[in-house]
Amino acid sequence: MFKKVHTYLSSITPERSPIMREMEGYARENNFPIVGPLVGRLLYQLATLNGARTILELGSGFGYSAYWFSLATKGRGHITMTDGDRTNKRRAIDYFKRAGLQSHFDYRVGDALRIARRLRGPFDIVFNDIDKDGYPDTIDVAARLLRKGGLFVTDNLIWSGRVCDKKKDATTAAVDTFNRALYQDSRFFTTIMPVRDGVGVAIRQ
């Protein structure tokens, strides 16, 4: 059922720019997980709705999600990107240059949580897409860095449906722990939406 809905929505989603399609092709060919166009469009809408200018990404990969944020900020954004893999930074910068994106991209290589703990806010959006075992530790980091009314957005919260299983492996348990903790956290008002692999949108109160 879930796959059928995803296939349907993907089939009617409008085409992207040539560079975005190239990035999607690279992800497909190399089995690299990106948010894809369904979630990318949601990121664009969320950033537009909250008038975002300052955005922090935890786990940027080669820049596909940041590309959507950059479109929403109409070139006036300051996007701090993080990733543990230096080759992703080179690839992202190459795509952004060729696409002529105008945002200010500050791409930092290293552990996303360690980098974020040293940053000063406030950010309008913190987007969370690191390895799932690290998810529970991102809540305090996002709460500190977001302005009031800012958005904490997290991908993969349904984790291919595995969060529903009774017996959970360690990674699934971390996603489940994160989901429950975020819903209960009075610093945020949260909804988890079943878009693609599940996207959490939490408003910093």
Ligand X SMILES: C[S@@+](CC[C@H](N)C(=O)[O-])C[C@H]1O[C@@H](n2cnc3c(N)ncnc32)[C@H](O)[C@@H]1O
Return residues touching ligand X (CB under 6 A). Answer: 33-35, 59-61, 64-65, 82-85, 88, 111-113, 129-131, 134
* Residue with smaller CB distance to ligand X, 35 or 157: 35
Sheet of 123-128, strand order = 104-109, 78-83, 54-58, 123-128, 146-155, 199-204, 188-193
* Residue with smaller CB distance to ligand X, 196 or 204: 196
CA distances from 152 to 90, 178, 184 (A): 26, 13, 14
Closest residue by beta carbon to ligand X: 59
- Min dist. Cβ of residue 45 to ligand X (A): 16
Element (H, E) at 182: helix 170-184
* Residue with smaller CB distance to ligand X, 83 or 124: 83
* Residue with smaller CB distance to ligand X, 112 or 199: 112
Bridge partners, 188 (sequence order): 204
* Residue with smaller CB distance to ligand X, 83 or 176: 83
Distance from C-alpha of 66 to C-alpha of 105, rounded to nearest angstrom? 9
- Min dist. Cβ of residue 4 to ligand X (A): 23
- Min dist. Cβ of residue 65 to ligand X (A): 4
- Min dist. Cβ of residue 111 to ligand X (A): 4
- Min dist. Cβ of residue 155 to ligand X (A): 7
Dihedral in degrees, nearest 10, Cα atoms 28, 34, 37, 41: -170
Distance from C-alpha of 53 to C-alpha of 73, rounded to nearest angstrom? 6
DSSP 119: -
